[in-house]
Structure 1
Amino acid sequence: MSTIRQQIEAVRAEYARLPAGLLAHVERVVAEARDLAARWDLDLDRVELAAWGHDLFRAHPPADQLRLAAEAGLPITETDRLEPVLLHGPIAAVVLRERLGITDDEALAAVRDHTLGAAEMPLIAKVILLADKFEPRKRQRTPVMREIRRLARRDLDAALLCWADWKWVEERTHGWVSHPAHWTARVRWVAEHHADRALPPILPLDDDADPAFGA
Structure 2
Amino acid sequence: MVVKAVPKEIFKVVKSLVTEDRFSHMSRVAEWCLKIAASHGLRDDRLVLAAFSHDMFRDVKPGILVKLARFYKIEEKRYYFSRPVLLHGPVAAKYMKRRFGIDDEVFEA
The CA distance in 1 between the partners of 2:14 and 2:49, in whole Å, is 13
For structure 2, the 5+ residue unaligned runs are none
TM-score scaled by length of structure 1: 0.45
Give the CA deviation at 1:40: 2.2
Aligned partners of 1:8 and 1:52 also within 8 Å: no
Aligned partners of 1:56 and 1:92 also within 8 Å: yes
* Seq. identity, %: 31
TM-score scaled by length of structure 2: 0.85
Give the CA deviation at 1:48: 0.9
Aligned partners of 1:54 and 1:92 also within 8 Å: yes
Give the CA deviation at 1:49: 1.2
The CA distance in 2 between the partners of 1:9 and 1:42, in whole Å, is 23
The CA distance in 1 between the partners of 2:8 and 2:42, in whole Å, is 20
Give the CA deviation at 1:42: 2.8
Give the CA deviation at 1:45: 1.2
Q: How many residues align structurally?
A: 104
- The amino acid across from 1:10 in the alignment is E
For residues 118-161 of structure 1, give each alpha carbon's deviation from its aligned partner in whole angstroms, at most 9, with x where no partner exists: xxxxxx2xxxxxxxxxxxxxxxxxxxxxxxxxxxxxxxxxxxxx
Give the CA deviation at 1:87: 0.8
The CA distance in 2 between the partners of 1:10 and 1:71, in whole Å, is 22
Equivalent in the alignment of 1:45: 45
Give the CA deviation at 1:9: 2.6
Aligned partners of 1:8 and 1:48 also within 8 Å: no
Q: Which has the larger radius of gyration?
A: 1
The CA distance in 2 between the partners of 1:40 and 1:107, in whole Å, is 18
- The amino acid across from 2:97 in the alignment is R
Equivalent in the alignment of 2:77: 77
| Cα-Cα RMSD | 1.5
For structure 1, the 5+ residue unaligned runs are 110-123, 125-215
For residues 60-106 of structure 1, give each alpha carbon's deviation from its aligned partner in whole angstroms, at most 9, with x where no partner exists: 11001111000100112221111101111111111101111212x32
Equivalent in the alignment of 1:90: 90
For residues 20-66 of structure 1, give each alpha carbon's deviation from its aligned partner in whole angstroms, at most 9, with x where no partner exists: 11101101101111101111233331211111111111111100111
Q: 1:1-215 counterparts in 2 under 5 A? A: 5=5, 8-17=7-16, 18-103=18-103, 105-109=104-108, 124=109
The CA distance in 2 between the partners of 1:46 and 1:78, in whole Å, is 30
Relative contact order: is structure 1 or structure 2 higher (C-alpha 8 Å, sep ≥ 6)?
A: 2
- The amino acid across from 1:13 in the alignment is K
The CA distance in 1 between the partners of 2:15 and 2:87, in whole Å, is 21
Aligned partners of 2:14 and 2:53 also within 8 Å: no
The CA distance in 2 between the partners of 1:28 and 1:11, in whole Å, is 17
